[in-house]
Structure 1
Amino acid sequence: MAEQASDYHHGEQDIHQQVSTFHLFVGMTKWGSLYLAALLLLLTIWFCTDAGFIAGLITAVVVSGLGFLVLRDKGDSAH
């Protein structure tokens, strides 16, 4: 049986756009989750406790700051 000719060669395709899309998706998911967590915390403390808006705002800012420190890019990894 004759083999089919193909232009595809395993490992030779340029994947720059796929890698860029993956990093964009991961970044948007990471920072969007932090934003939503801080917003949810602010609204929960503001409306569901007697602490009020200022306590909710302070808590949301602290969580956002800690989240930023934990989630920021640490530079290029070795792999």
Structure 2
Amino acid sequence: RLVDDGGEPLEGAADGTLQLAGPMVADGYVDAAGTGDENWDEPAEIESREVEESGDRGRFVDGWFDTGDRFRRDADGNYSSR
């Protein structure tokens, strides 16, 4: 999905920040910092984790992974990076 600068979902054709959700996201990002935290797979832990190397990017917000990447969605629903 795309969200505006305030984190609100955008509908239709729009420019915004890309957020991802689903089981494939956790496989690529959970414990990416190598913390060794034994609770790394707890939902509350996952949703609040921030990946230190990426500054403001790479954090979970309400179960969505906020990539920090800017994308455009056209009227047909196709996404392209900005």
What interval of TM-score do these two structures reach, taking the shorter chain for normalisation?
A: under 0.3
Q: Which has the larger radius of gyration?
A: 1
Where is the strand percentage greater, Structure 1 or Structure 2? Answer: 2
> Structure 1 length as normaliser, TM-score?
0.25
Where is the helix percentage greater, Structure 1 or Structure 2? Answer: 1
> Structure 2 length as normaliser, TM-score?
0.25
